[in-house]
Amino acid sequence: MTDQPLRRILHSPEISGRLQKWAVELSEFDIDFLPRTATKSQALADFVAELTTAEQPEPRKKPQPRTLHVDGASGERIQGVGIVLTSPWGVRLQRSGKIHFPVTNNQIEYEALIAGLKFAKGLGARQLDVYSDSKLMVNQLTGSYQTKDEVLKRYFQLIKTLLQQFAQASIFHIPREMNSLADELAKEENDNALDILFPAFEDPQIFDVKSNPESWMNDIRHYLQTGELPDDRNKARKLQVKAARYIISQGQLFRRCYSLPLAKCIREEDSKIVLEQIHSGDCGTHAAGRNLALQILRQGYYWPSLQKDAKAFSQKCP
């Protein structure tokens, strides 16, 4: 196959010299001259043949769960809870709380778990692996032990309700030495620790990090859910343009990002927790404003003043 006029040249009666010798040499072979197809079509065929593979594409990886370590400490000097929430990428968020009411050792372990579950849920966790060094609590929640104490039964029911709010949640018992960070948080005296004034079943809002409807998300959420726009044409147009960057998934508002996963929208009041932990937490890098804002987006959080708040927060870093 050729795109050159070889047949006409070799069979021409006017050929001479070297071409005539080649014509004689080739005459003993039975040669058919066929026109070659267009170069573009052949290039496409070669490309498809070269890159076609029989291998099956890799299955899509399932989302990895976040890990939650909780612990409670009850003593004469201090009563507290420690929480360590770790993302699949290794970023840790730490919280601690002080208990200001009488509790037993078992009750404070339940308090720590309830606080941890609410903290994780408020930060958008869907899959969760929970670790605690309280053998009694873990076995009661997994059904190995019966819960007979009346107070523990109330904690038990509250935790079961909280666990149902996750797409997947598992709880495991680990030795105390593998839960040292949560244990340290529960025992340390921290001025930033949250004061827990009542038992969790009496004050269910402890450690909630929710997106209050009365916030910057209110108008966007209302429009996406109902399609209703303000009567003012200019406000309606601005809202439509703004809302195109957002989506509601499982009742939660998320912002679309160009090259990053969806970012959960949170209240500006809750942003301080995220700023503190990602900037100067256990795995914090003390990044400057722009880099800090990018790290927060990569962890899946957003609020309108993110860039400004990240810059101001990083400037306060000594």
Strand order in the sheet with 252-255: 246-249, 252-255, 263-265, 301-302
* Residues of the chain where predicted confidence (pLDDT) is lower than 70: 1-24, 26-27, 32-62, 203-214, 259, 280-286, 317-318
Residues 238 and 267 in one domain: yes
Query: Which residues on neighbouring strands pair with residue 173, listed in sequence order?
Result: 132
Tell which of 162, 196, 230 closes a domain: 196
Residues 45 and 115 in one domain: no
Residues 70 and 188 in one domain: yes
Residues 132 and 171 in one domain: yes
> So what's the pLDDT on residue 112?
93
Flag whether 182 is in a domain. yes
Residues 81 and 191 in one domain: yes
> So what's the pLDDT on residue 275?
82
Residues 91 and 150 in one domain: yes
Q: Which two tokens stand for residue 99?
A: 């208990």
Residues 183 and 293 in one domain: no
> So what's the pLDDT on residue 171?
94
Residues 175 and 229 in one domain: no
Residues 77 and 185 in one domain: yes
Residues 80 and 22 in one domain: no
Flag whether 1 is in a domain. no
Residues 115 and 143 in one domain: yes
Q: What is the pLDDT of residues 104-138, one digit of tens each?
A: 999 999 999 999 998 888 888 889 999 999 999 99
Query: What total number of domains does the chain contain?
Result: 3
Flag whether 56 is in a domain. no
Tell which of 161, 196, 231 closes a domain: 196
Flag whether 57 is in a domain. no
CATH number of the structural domain spanning residue 254: 1.10.340
> So what's the pLDDT on residue 297?
83
Q: What is the pLDDT of residues 190-220, one digit of tens each?
A: 777 777 877 887 754 544 544 444 578 888 9
> So what's the pLDDT on residue 92?
86
Q: Can you give the three-state secondary structure of the chain, one letter per residue?
A: CECCCHHHHHCCCCCCCHHHHHHHHHCCCCCCCCECCCHHHHHHHHHHHHHCCCCCCCCCCCCCCEEEEEEEEECCCCEEEEEEEECCCCCEEEEEEEECCCCCHHHHHHHHHHHHHHHHHHCCCCEEEEEECCHHHHHHHHCCCCCCCHHHHHHHHHHHHHHCCCCEEEEEECCHHHHHHHHHHHHCCCCCCEEECCCCCCCCCCCCCCCCCCCCCHHHHHHHHHCCCCCCHHHHHHHHHHHCCEEEECCEEEECCCCCCCEEECCHHHHHHHHHHHHHCCCCCCCCHHHHHHHHHHCCEECCCHHHHHHHHHHCCC
Residues 102 and 169 in one domain: yes
Flag whether 115 is in a domain. yes
Structural domain boundaries, residue 176: 66-196
Flag whether 208 is in a domain. no
> So what's the pLDDT on residue 128?
93
Closest-CA residue to 68 (of 49, 55, 81, 56): 81
Flag whether 298 is in a domain. yes
> So what's the pLDDT on residue 196?
80
> So what's the pLDDT on residue 7?
62
Flag whether 172 is in a domain. yes
CATH number of the structural domain spanning residue 126: 3.30.420.10
